[in-house]
Structure 1
Amino acid sequence: MVEIVDSLFLRFLVAFGIGALIGLEREQAESGGMFAGSRTFPLFALIGAIVQAFFPGLLAATLLVIAIPLTVAYVAKVLTEGDIGLTTLVAAVLTVLLGAITVSSERGTLVAIIVGGVVTVLLSAKPTIHRIVNRIDERERRASLKFILVVVVVLPLLPDREIDVLYGLNPRFIWLMVGFVTGLSFVAYILSRIVGAKRGIALTGILGGFVSSTATTVSMSERTRENPDIYRIGTFSIVVASIVMFPRALIEVAVVNPTLLPQLLVPLGAMTGIGVLISGVVYWDSQAEPETEADLKNPFRLRPALFFGAVFAVVLLVSQSAHSVFGVSGIYATAFLSGLADVDAITLTLSALEAEGEISASTATTGIVIGAIANTLTKAGLAWLLGTAALGRRVTVALGAVSALGILVVVVL
Structure 2
Amino acid sequence: MLDTLSVGHGAVALGIGMLVGLERERKKRRDEVPAAAGLRTFAITALLGYVSMLLAGPVLVGTASLGLILLLCLQYRYSPGKAPDVTGEIALLLVLVLGALSVAEPELAAAAGVVSTVLLALRRELHHFVLQRLSEQELRDGLTLLTVALVVLPLTPDRFLGPYSVLNPRTICTLVVLLMTVAALGHIAMRLVGPRYGLPLSAIASGFASGSATIALLAHDASRQPTAARSYAAAAVLSNLATITQFALVLSIIDRHLLGPFLPAVGLGALVTAIYGMLLLAPWRAAPSNSTAHLGAGAFNLWTALVITLALTGIALLSAFLLEHLGHNGASIAAFVSGLGDAHAATASAASLVVAGRLQMTELMVPGMMALTGNTLSKCVLALSNGGYAFARYLVPAQLIILGAMWLGTLA
Q: Deviations over 1:115-149 (max 9, x none)?
A: 22222223323333334333221122123213322
Quick one: which amino acid aligns to residue 50 of structure 2?
Answer: A
Which residue in the other structure is 1:159 paired with?
157
* Superposition deviation, residue 261 in structure 1: 11
Which residue in the other structure is 2:8 paired with?
10
Aligned 8 A contact 1:49 1:102 in 2: yes
Aligned-pair identity in percent equals 23
Quick one: which amino acid aligns to residue 96 of structure 1?
Answer: L
Q: Determine which of 182, 185, 203 is the counterpart of 2:183.
A: 185
Q: Does 1:62 align with 2:61?
A: no
- Which 10-residue stretch deviates more, 265-274 or 284-293? 265-274
Which residue in the other structure is 1:113 paired with?
110
Aligned 8 A contact 2:186 2:202 in 1: yes
Q: CA RMSD in A?
A: 4.5
Which residue in the other structure is 1:342 paired with?
none
Q: Does 1:322 align with 2:325?
A: no
Structure 1 length-normalised TM? 0.72
Q: Determine which of 216, 236, 241 is the counterpart of 2:236.
A: 241
Q: Distance in 1 between matches of 2:219 and 2:109?
A: 44
- Which 10-residue stretch deviates more, 46-55 or 201-210? 201-210
Q: Distance in 2 between matches of 1:62 and 1:119?
A: 21
Structure 2 length-normalised TM? 0.72
Q: Distance in 2 between matches of 1:131 and 1:368?
A: 48
Give aligned pairs, total.
Answer: 383
Q: Classify the secondary structure of the residue corresponding to 2:3.
A: helix
Q: Classify the secondary structure of the residue corresponding to 1:293.
A: coil
Which residue in the other structure is 1:335 paired with?
338
* Superposition deviation, residue 25 in structure 1: 1.8
Q: Does 1:127 align with 2:124?
A: yes
- 1:23-102 map, 5 Å: 23-29=21-27, 33=33, 34-58=35-59, 59-72=61-74, 79-81=81-83, 86-102=86-102
Quick one: which amino acid aligns to residue 90 of structure 1?
Answer: I
* Superposition deviation, residue 56 in structure 1: 1.4
Q: Which runs of 5+ in 2 are unaligned?
A: 207-213, 357-363
Q: Distance in 2 between matches of 1:132 and 1:383?
A: 32
* Superposition deviation, residue 21 in structure 1: 1.1
Quick one: which amino acid aligns to residue 92 of structure 2?
Answer: A
Q: Distance in 2 between matches of 1:72 and 1:234?
A: 63
Q: Which runs of 5+ in 1 are unaligned?
A: 228-232, 339-345
Q: Determine which of 376, 381, 389 is the counterpart of 1:373.
A: 376
Aligned 8 A contact 1:210 1:248 in 2: no
Q: Deviations over 1:250-274 (max 9, x none)?
A: 68999x9994698889666764443
Q: Classify the secondary structure of the residue corresponding to 2:103.
A: helix
Over 3 Å counting, the alpha-carbon distance change for 1:146 and 1:290 in structure 2 is closer
- 1:216-227 map, 5 Å: 216-217=218-219, 219-220=221-222
Q: Distance in 2 between matches of 1:168 and 1:217?
A: 28
Over 3 Å counting, the alpha-carbon distance change for 1:95 and 1:379 in structure 2 is same
Q: Classify the secondary structure of the residue corresponding to 1:160.
A: coil
Kindly name which structure, 1 or 2, has the bigger radius of gyration based on alpha carbons.
2
Aligned 8 A contact 2:172 2:309 in 1: yes
Q: Distance in 2 between matches of 1:223 and 1:208?
A: 17
Q: Distance in 2 between matches of 1:77 and 1:246?
A: 62
